[in-house]
Structure 1
Amino acid sequence: METLEILGSITRLSPIVVRVLGQNPGKFTLQGTNTYIVGRQRPYVLVDTGEGKEEYVPILESALKVPLSSEDSDIPDVSDIIISHWHRDHVGGLPSVLALLRRLWDERKTGLPFTPPRLHKFPLPANKLPEQSNLPSIINSLPSKSFTPASDSVFYDLQDGQEFTTSSTLLRVLHTPGHTRDSICLYIPEDRALYTADTVLGQGTAVFEDLRLYISSLRKMLDYQKYYSYDVLYPGHGPVVKEGAKLIDTYIQHRLEREAQILEVLQKAPPSPDVNESSGSARWSTWTIVSKIYQGYPESLWTPASHSINLHMKKLEADGIVKKLGGEGVNTKWALNLKL
């Protein structure tokens, strides 16, 4: 597969991986969602589909629409689409991508029936799809007969450790919950690379739904490197990371350092008299913890920081290190578990 870079939107990373930007740059998406075409020849695997920007379709088309040889003129461009997790900026482009793949096939006029791609995603437990997810509406808008469904679902369920063999390369699935419960990574042995979606980014730090799961997944990714060697990371946002294991370890250490800061704060008296009469222990709220840790930062950053601190507190509560004394959100009251 030969491609040209189009204003930086299409980049060949290796003989088997081409990165195509989702055309949705922003504060949280960095230069945009990275989608990946994987494979040495047709049919390829497409990893993620962007959020559905109209500008993405012609860019993806340019990456796929390369000169055909007599050997692959009657082979579909993409046999499988893997969705890394349910967030819209990774799955929202699915309807337009499926329409594109059908159009590209019809334009060849092979006279052969179209074989729609299979769609793959790690399953979520029943009723665990967050209310803010657009996935149901995205599924409802998929073009008719544009994909090959599983026996009882739109998606084929991915499994942890599953080997996903394409016509020209091998992928291994690694379930890495934390950013979302259905987040996965993909190991690409031929590139000695790990596609990390939003679990580890090319720049900055990632957000997460469940910190306990998230740290466990980061450690799982490091352990995985001992058995299935990888050097680089292909993230869902940002540039390729050359020292993959080092960055993952940095992510872990950053979270542990923040946890240590929180515990140090909880061992001190709160900034105003506020004592739980039943236990006599000092009561800190999420907001007062934030104000202490982030006192050197502009207050405009405190509100987004409070979400992260609350997730840290929930992890510490699950670990039995702190206990919740009441309240909600930034007003949630916490104290060290004195029974330890």
Structure 2
Amino acid sequence: MSLIKLRSIPDVTKISQHIIRVLGCNPSAMTLQGTNTYLIGTGKERILIDAGDANVPKYVQLLKRVLKEEDAKIKDIILTHWHHDHIGGVKDILRDEKCRVWKYERSDADDEILPNIAIKKLNNGQIFKVEGAVLKVVHTPGHTTDHVVLTLQDGSLFSGDCVLGEGTAVFEDLYEYMKSLKTILDLNPKVIYPGHGNIIENPIEKLNYYIEHRNQREKQIIDVFETNAKKTFTDRMIVEIIYENLPENLKLAAAFNVNHHLMKLAKCGLIKQITGGGENLWILVEKGELSKSTL
């Protein structure tokens, strides 16, 4: 393992004496080169942040190799959120490692995501200590209701899927997500280690870009409605208008994001939803209706 910085992410990177990144070896359009998992600490006992996907033998072999080279074992696995590409590998890891598994509790669904595996509940502000590292849990909902980021004593931050090394993140709740971006910004991280993509060396610039990007997307959407005041739109129609040259395989994710903007704008009383032809249609709220809004 060597201290290296490349745009292409190696299978294993020793980022510092107390951070080793092990790539999940599960590349896809949504996971980029794969899920980044991080082994934290310098002593015999380490903390693993996220666990990659299920049934990826190469990842498990890489993790075993690193632990052997470091003469270490895993004390705790901390999951940033419930998505399969972050929790799937837990079962495979537990075949060799006897450790605790932690995750923040979901508020939108049952948390039976890893059957027959005991998952301890994370708390906002919880502290984890191993030799060479002190991690603090910060609840950052929006991408999912259970999403957390983790701060390290050196000023670095592990962002899960809240902030990515490349591109922008998807989310379940735009309102909560924007609040979480502000929470991370207020933490003033020196560097961000994301769940996907390369290390973010300019975290404040990146966070401000994320916030401005969402604000700009919202402005683009409301401009579509204001330019076509009597016309109805679906989320996919808006994607075709405001996302230029977007690959077809990413349009569903873009429509997912647009739909959350639409719901946020509806809460603000700027647009409203109507039903037609079996589709969810949206239309601008007329000025007379807007004046009657209680929002």
Q: How does 1:80-159 map to 2 (within 5 A)?
A: 80-101=76-97, 116-125=98-107, 128-129=109-110, 136=112, 138-140=114-116, 142=117, 154-159=118-123
Tell me which residue corresponds to 1:306: 255
Aligned match for 1:33, one of 32, 35, 46: 35
- String of CA shifts for 1:21-65, please: whole Å, max 9, x gaps: 111112111111111100011210011111021111110011100
Asked if structure 2 preserves the Cα contact closer than 8 Å seen for 1:267 and 1:336, the reply is no
Structure 1 CA distance for aligned equivalents of residues 120 and 277 of structure 2:
38
Asked if structure 1 preserves the Cα contact closer than 8 Å seen for 2:232 and 2:281, the reply is no
Asked if structure 2 preserves the Cα contact closer than 8 Å seen for 1:46 and 1:82, the reply is yes
Per-residue deviation at 1:159?
A: 1.5
Structure 2 CA distance for aligned equivalents of residues 156 and 85 of structure 1:
13
- String of CA shifts for 1:169-206, please: whole Å, max 9, x gaps: 2111111111111111000122x211001111111111
Query: Taking structure 2 as the reference length, what is the TM-score of the superposition?
Result: 0.87
Deviating runs (4+, > 4 A) in structure 1?
A: 301-304, 327-330
Q: Aligned in 2, Cα 1:337/1:54: closer, same or farther, shift over 3 Å?
A: farther
The residue matched to 2:64 in structure 1 has which SS?
helix
Structure 2 CA distance for aligned equivalents of residues 181 and 237 of structure 1:
19
Q: Could you list the runs of 5+ residues in structure 1 that have no partner in the other structure?
A: 69-75, 102-115, 130-134, 143-153, 276-281
Tell me which residue corresponds to 1:63: 66
Tell me which residue corresponds to 1:232: 191
Aligned match for 1:215, one of 152, 155, 178: 178
Asked if structure 1 preserves the Cα contact closer than 8 Å seen for 2:239 and 2:254, the reply is yes
Asked if structure 1 preserves the Cα contact closer than 8 Å seen for 2:143 and 2:177, the reply is yes
Tell me which residue corresponds to 2:6: none
Instruction: Report which of the two has the higher share of strand.
Output: 2
Structure 2 CA distance for aligned equivalents of residues 161 and 33 of structure 1:
24
Structure 2 CA distance for aligned equivalents of residues 329 and 290 of structure 1:
19
Query: Taking structure 1 as the reference length, what is the TM-score of the superposition?
Result: 0.76
Tell me which residue corresponds to 1:286: 235
Asked if structure 2 preserves the Cα contact closer than 8 Å seen for 1:286 and 1:330, the reply is no
Q: Which amino acid aligns with 2:36?
A: N
Whether 2:177 is the aligned partner of 1:196: answer no
Q: Aligned in 2, Cα 1:174/1:327: closer, same or farther, shift over 3 Å?
A: farther
The residue matched to 2:94 in structure 1 has which SS?
helix
Structure 2 CA distance for aligned equivalents of residues 14 and 331 of structure 1:
50
Structure 2 CA distance for aligned equivalents of residues 34 and 299 of structure 1:
24
- String of CA shifts for 1:233-259, please: whole Å, max 9, x gaps: 000011111011110110111110010
Structure 2 CA distance for aligned equivalents of residues 169 and 233 of structure 1:
16
Larger mean Cα displacement after TM superposition, 79-88 or 261-270: 261-270
User: Aligned pairs, how many?
Assistant: 283
Structure 2 CA distance for aligned equivalents of residues 9 and 335 of structure 1:
49
Q: Which amino acid aligns with 1:336?
A: V
Q: Which amino acid aligns with 2:102?
A: H
Tell me which residue corresponds to 1:261: 220
Per-residue deviation at 1:95?
A: 0.9
Asked if structure 1 preserves the Cα contact closer than 8 Å seen for 2:43 and 2:130, the reply is no
The residue matched to 1:99 in structure 2 has which SS?
coil
